[in-house]
């Protein structure tokens, strides 16, 4: 794996049920258990799916015209499955995008469905990882695996 492919964030506890995630560029965001306005980890997962797809679609369509409205709603159901574990299902990414009238807006509207499909099928690392699945190793700092 090359250095430019490696990604990481660090999550630090700030108090009971409250955490801050930091990236290597100095960005941070708070998260928690849902008892305050902070995002929960599940909400961050939804935001990551929507954000990744939005970046792809925006990059492709805004070359043609600047949108007059651009929002993405990501939703799904959190369930306890047959094995007794929690997971999300029925995830939906819903775009609401409008472009100005005129030839540039027409080109952007024409590119929208294709850009959504491209993002979903090959560009969005987050949703592709969720759909294809990937093992997650849980270890301590010494490398010992969780029981």
Q: What is the pLDDT of residues 29-76, one digit of tens each?
A: 999 999 999 999 999 999 999 999 999 999 999 999 999 999 999 999
Do 87 and 50 fall within a single domain?
yes
- Read off the tokens for 95: 């775009």
- Quick one: 24 and 60 in the same domain? no
In a domain, 146, yes or no: no
Handedness of CA 135, 141, 142, 147 (dihedral sign): negative
Instruction: Take residue 38 and report the two structure tokens written for it.
Output: 């902070």
CB-based burial, 5-23: b 16+ in 10 Å, e otherwise:
eeeeeeeeeeeeeebebee
- Judge whether 112 lies within some domain: yes
CATH, residue 67: 3.30.300.20
Q: Whole-number mean pLDDT of the chain?
A: 95
140 lies in some domain: no
Contact (Cβ atoms closer than 8 angstroms) between residue 124 and residue 74: no
Calpha distance 34→31 (Å, rounded):
8
Same domain, 51 and 118: yes
The residue among 145 and 138 whose pLDDT is bigger is 138
What per-residue confidence (pLDDT) applies to 4?
87
- The whole-number pLDDT of residue 2 equals 57
Domain shared by 31 and 50, yes or no: no
The CA-atom distances, in angstroms, between 75 and each of 2, 36, 48, 128 are: 34, 20, 12, 16
Kindly state whether residues 6 and 32 are assigned to the same domain.
yes
Same domain, 32 and 49: no
Pair 26, 55 in one domain: no
Residues 113 and 96 in one domain: yes
Q: Do residues 52 and 108 share a domain? A: yes
Residue pair 72/56 in contact (Cβ under 8 Å)? The answer is: no
Whether residues 24 and 70 share a domain: the answer is no
* pLDDT for residue 134 is more than 70: yes
With 80 as the cut, is the pLDDT of residue 147 above it? Answer: no
If asked whether residues 3 and 60 sit together in one domain, one would say no
As for how many domains the chain has, the answer is: 2
| Residue 34, helix vs strand vs coil | coil
Residue 110 lies in domain: 40-132
| 72 plus 123 within the same structural domain | yes
């Amino acid at each position: 794996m090359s250095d430019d492919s490696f990604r990481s964030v660090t999550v630090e506890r700030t108090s009971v049920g409250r955490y801050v995630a930091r990236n290597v560029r100095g960005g941070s965001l708070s998260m928690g258990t849902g008892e305050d306005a902070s995002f929960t980890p599940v909400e961050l997962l939804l935001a990551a799916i929507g954000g990744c797809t939005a970046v792809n679609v925006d990059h492709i369509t805004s070359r043609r015209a600047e949108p007059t409205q651009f929002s993405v709603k990501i939703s799904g159901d959190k369930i306890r499955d047959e094995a007794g574990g929690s997971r999300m299902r029925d995830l939906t990414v819903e775009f609401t995008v409008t472009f100005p009238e005129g030839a540039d807006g027409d080109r952007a509207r024409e590119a929208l469905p294709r850009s959504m499909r491209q993002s979903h099928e090959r560009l969005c690392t987050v949703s592709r990882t969720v759909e294809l699945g990937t093992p997650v190793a849980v270890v301590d700092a010494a490398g010992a695996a969780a029981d």
